[in-house]
A and B are shown apart, each in its own frame.
Chain A
């Protein structure tokens, strides 16, 4: 049983013992061989103001990487560069290199990129359509011709929403509760079968029970999907992620396996943050 500087990890271990145990066999070379995103010297500007400074990070495949740090440290901004969502904001600039499976994402077709790298937002944002149509949306616009029904069901199952939604597929998405809506948004993002799923504080608007459901979902999704999650909740990062990156003022301070970062952080600033001395 590990104790973290953050406190007793017993609860975390009980909830998802597999996470803690599966990290042990991972060797350094294994980690490098399965890198999904490789970010080199990333700088990001909102107009004249720089928000991210010289960030270098490797996001491993089929693992959950958590991004933690105080408000305004640039973690959401960074997350959004990974699927080029920041391009929807005027006057932004990206300098540096982001490789997805070895390809520079700035050279890729952005629509195709966003199909491969999906996103779930802080507040659930289902479309004012039925549950079915929400999930089918991504499929329809990407021109998928086959049996939509099967794929919709599959996505809803992956998002652990099928049982609750199967009888009301054609009802409005707004009839769902907040937690269900967020799972619907996850199902919607999963429908196009992304290789990576970016989650921007997906549970911040949800209650603990729903949060637990979503964390469990993430655990099961890992095998088919790489995940990067921005979170304010350190318990969540400790529970649900394999790797954690700590950011401060736009810079990456420390990045390592979650268990290691929370028990023996190398940088004093990391330690200060996770013990709650600031942020």
Chain B
């Protein structure tokens, strides 16, 4: 039929076409590479800006910044200690709640629940991870805080307040806000991450492992706890680090329930402050360059903390994938 029109297209010379063709591919390569490199540039700029804009504070306070417990905008004396303390305490509390809870749920989803139920529940739990922080804060203020003030707080203080070592953490006036409340809210926010990663890791444990344990007469629980979970422990640990990294950087929900008091207190019911919260609250109010610089230095500290943790989490999760759960 119509052969002629198509053959005419080869004209314009093979070399011209070649040039156009090569040109097109290389342009595409260069274009996409530029954008990819742009991400590198952006991230470097981020670190650079954090470093540069915290210069005033770093120059003035040096390493003392980490030990100083005062936060005094009036006399321009700033120290990071209360905030590092607050960030760590709230995160640890949240993990103490979320890890057992999350691991238990993950075990249920991977070992006990039928596949369809497991998938549905996993889906719903993933939705929890999508809920914005400020909404957790909303619920924190209007539900958790009153609950803590009226019911849970008094119960804990009453029961544990006089226990020898632990009692220190459960004393004192209880306004509903504070480290424990923030920890609880954080726990709910990070538990979906622990569940989803742990569930995945548990599902990859080979059937033979479970069967070997059961064949030796172990109960379902014993097989799970003593064989399956240890096999997956690297990945589970990775999920914990991931959750921790998330908890460290959480801002809004924590800010709304922690009490915003830059003090280091032993009691979990005392109000406190985290790095993210103080930045959120005081950044726009910061009068003076040193004040702002101190806040930015706090931001730099937070960045470094999450950077290291995420790096560790990655290593652990890669290690799981590489030597698929070698149990040594």
For the complex, what is the distance from the CA of A171 to the CA of B106, rounded to whole Å? Answer: 44
Q: Kindly identify which residue among A109, A139, A145, A193 contacts B14, using a CB–CB cutoff of 8 Å.
A: A109
**Cβ B5 vs Cβ A144 within 8 A:** yes
Given contact pairs A143-B9, A144-B9, A108 touches B2 in the complex (Cβ within 8 A): no
Give the size category of B's interface with A.
Answer: 10 to 19
Contact yes or no, B18 A192, CB < 8 A: no
A108–B21 Cα distance when bound, in Å, is: 12
Counting chain A CB atoms within 10 Å of each CB, which of B5, B6, B9 scores highest?
B6
Count of residues in A whose CB is under 8 Å from the partner chain: 18
Q: Is A264 on the interface with B (CB-CB < 8 A)?
A: no
Q: Are A192 and B6 in contact (CB under 8 A)?
A: yes
A93 at the interface (CB under 8 A from B): no
The yes or no answer to B108 lying at the interface (CB within 8 A) is no
Closest chain B CB from A200 CB (angstroms): 24
Chain B, 246-260, CB within 8 A of any chain A CB: none
Does any Cβ of B come within 8 Å of A151's Cβ? Answer: yes
> Which applies to chain B's interface (DSSP): helix, strand, loop or mixed?
helix
Total CB contacts across the A-B interface at under 8 A: 37
Is the CB–CB distance between A144 and B6 below 8 Å? yes
Please report the C-alpha to C-alpha distance between residue A245 and residue B15 in the assembled complex, in whole angstroms.
34
Q: Is B10 an interface residue (CB 8 A)?
A: yes
**Chain B stretch 1-37: residues in CB contact (< 8 A) with chain A:** 1-3, 5-7, 9-10, 14-15, 17-18, 21
Q: Among A108, A109, A143, A193, which residue has its beta carbon within 8 angstroms of that of B3?
A: A193
For residue A150, CB closer than 8 A to chain B, the reply is yes
B9 A146 Cβ-Cβ under 8 A: no
Q: Is the CB of B1 within 8 A of A112?
A: no
Q: Is there a chain B Cβ closer than 8 Å to A205's Cβ?
A: no
Q: Are A112 and B17 in contact (CB under 8 A)?
A: yes
Q: Are A111 and B9 in contact (CB under 8 A)?
A: no
Instruction: Confirm or deny: A154 has a beta carbon within 8 angstroms of a beta carbon on chain B.
Output: yes
A185-226 interface code vs B (CB 8 A; 1 in, 0 out): 000000011000000000000000000000000000000000
CB-based contact B1/A142 at 8 Å: no
Task: Provide the bound-state CA to CA distance between A52 and B5, in Å.
Answer: 38
B97–chain A nearest beta-carbon distance, Å: 47
* Mask: chain A, 101-124; 1 = CB below 8 Å from B; 0 = not: 000000011111001100000000
A19 to B5, CA, bound (A): 32
Residues of the B chain whose Cβ atoms lie less than 8 Å from the Cβ of A142: 6, 9
Shortest beta-carbon distance from A194 to chain B in Å? 10
Could you tell me the distance in whole angstroms from the C-beta of A220 to the nearest C-beta in chain B?
A: 14
Give complex CA distance A112, B18 in Å.
9
Complex CA distance for A115 and B1, rounded to whole angstroms: 17
8 Å CB contacts to B: which residues of A116-146? 116, 139, 142-146
Contact B2 A146 (CB under 8 A): yes
State the Cβ distance, A112 to closest chain B Cβ, in Å: 5
| Across-interface contacts of B7 in A (CB, < 8 A) | 193
Task: Select from chain A the residue with minimum beta-carbon distance to B10.
Answer: A112
Q: Check A109–B6 contact: CB distance below 8 A.
A: no
Which residues of A lie under 8 Å from residue B1 when comparing CB positions? 150-151, 154
- In the assembly, what is the distance between CA of A115 and CA of B5, in Å? 13
B residues near A154, Cβ cutoff 8 Å? 1-2
Instruction: Give complex CA distance A202, B132 in Å.
Output: 53
Per-residue B-contact encoding for A142-172, CB less than 8 Å = 1, 0 else = 1111100011001000000000000000000
Most buried by B among A109, A145, A150: A109
* Chain A residues whose C-beta falls within 8 Å of the C-beta of B5 in the assembled complex: 144-146
Pair B9/A109 contact, Cβ less than 8 Å? no
Tell me the complex Cα distance, A143–B12, Å.
13
Residues of B within 8 A of A139 (CB): 6
In angstroms, Cα B14 to Cα A143, docked, is 15
Taking the closest CB of chain A, its distance from the CB of B300, in whole angstroms, is 42
B2 contacts A109, C-beta separation under 8 Å: no
Q: Are A150 and B14 in contact (CB under 8 A)?
A: no
CB distance from A13 to the nearest CB of B (A): 32
| Given A111-B21, A112-B17: A150 touches B10 (CB 8 Å cut-off) | no
B21 contacts across to A, CB distance below 8 A: 109-111
Interface residues of A in 77-112 (CB under 8 A from B): 108-112
Q: Chain B residues with Cβ under 8 A from A111's Cβ?
A: 17-18, 21
A114 to chain B, nearest CB (A): 11
- Set of chain A residues within 8 Å of B14, measured between Cβ atoms: 108-109, 112
Nearest residue in A to B18 (C-beta to C-beta)?
Answer: A109
Contacts of B10 in A (CB 8 A): 112, 115-116
- A145 proximity list for chain B (CB < 8 A): 5
In chain B, what residue has the closest Cβ to A155? Answer: B1
Give 14 A-B contacts (CB < 8 Å), ordered by A residue.
Answer: A108-B14, A109-B14, A109-B15, A109-B21, A111-B17, A112-B17, A115-B6, A139-B6, A144-B5, A146-B2, A146-B5, A150-B1, A151-B2, A192-B6
Which 4 pairs show the lowest CB-CB distances between chains A and B?
A109-B14, A109-B18, A109-B17, A154-B1
The residues of B with any CB-CB pair to A shorter than 8 Å are 1-3, 5-7, 9-10, 14-15, 17-18, 21
**A positions within 8 Å CB-CB of B:** 108-112, 115-116, 139, 142-146, 150-151, 154, 192-193
Given contacts A150-B1, A192-B6, A193-B7, 12 further A-B contacts (CB under 8 A): A109-B17, A111-B21, A112-B10, A112-B14, A112-B17, A115-B6, A115-B10, A144-B6, A145-B5, A146-B2, A146-B5, A154-B2
